[in-house]
Amino acid sequence: MNRNKSKSRADRTMPMVHPNAAAIDIGATMHMAAVRADRAPEPVRSFGTFTADLHRLVDWFTECGVETVVMESTSFYWIPIFELLDARGFTVFLVNARDAKHVPGRKTDVSDAQWLQRLHSFGLLRASFRPKGQIAELRAYVRQRERLLEYAASHIQHMQKALTEMNLQLHHVVADITGATGLGIIRADPCRRARP
C-alpha cells in the first residue's frame, strides 16, 4: 500500500513537460493512438493504415489539442504517419523501442500507446535523430545507391558462378569481369571466329 501511495505522490510532484502529448503504437495494419484521458471520452482509439485512416487520426489529434506526438520506430510502418504529422505542424518524436521498454514501472493493464503517451508527457523519452529537408533526401539517395551496389555485387557473384559451372575461369584471368575486357570476352561470339 505504501508503494502505491508513493507512486501517486510522485505523479503529482513530477512536472509535466509535454502537457499536449499523444502517442501512437505503430502496427502493420492498425495504429493505436492515445491522448490524455481529459482530452477525449475515448482516449485510446484504433485507426487503420490507409491514407484516409491516417488523415482521420491526425484530425482527431487536432480536435484533442495535441501538439506533440511520440511513436516507436517500428520497421518502416511509421514513415507515412510521421510525414503526415510533420506536414500538419505537429512536433513528432520518433523513439527507439528499447528506450521505452527500459523505463521501470510499466503496468500490464495499460496499452502501449497509453504508456508511451504518459512517458512522453513527462519528458522521459529521447527522440531519435531524423534529418529534415535536403539532408533526408540526400540520405535516401545514398541508401538507395548502397542497395544498388549490393544488388550489383550479388549479380556479379551469380555471373562468376555461372561461368565457373561452364568451366570458364574468367575471374582468374581478368580482375573485373564486369569491366570492358571482361564483358568483351563474355559477349564475344566464338562462332564468328570459327567461320571462314
pTM of the full predicted structure? 0.66
Domain 2-130: homologous superfamily in CATH:
YqgF/RNase H-like domain (3.30.420.140)
Radius of gyration of the chain (CA): 27
Close Cβ partners of 97 (under 8 Å, ≥ 6 residues apart):
72, 73, 74
Sequence spans of domains, the chain: 2-130, 134-188
CA distance linking residue 175 with residue 192, whole number of Å: 26
How many residues does the structure list for the chain? 196
* DSSP label of 126: P
Give all strands (DSSP E) within 51-184, no chain letters: 68-72, 91-95
C-alpha cell at 156: 556479379
3-state class of 108 per DSSP? coil
* DSSP label of 96: -
pLDDT of residue 160: 86
pLDDT of residue 181: 87
For residue 97, which of 75, 67, 82 has the smallest C-alpha distance? 75
pLDDT of residue 127: 81
pLDDT in tens, the chain (196 residues): 455 555 555 556 778 888 899 999 998 999 999 999 888 999 999 999 999 999 999 999 999 999 999 998 778 889 899 999 999 999 999 887 766 665 666 554 457 888 889 888 888 888 877 777 788 789 889 989 999 999 988 988 888 888 888 888 887 888 888 888 888 888 885 655 555 5
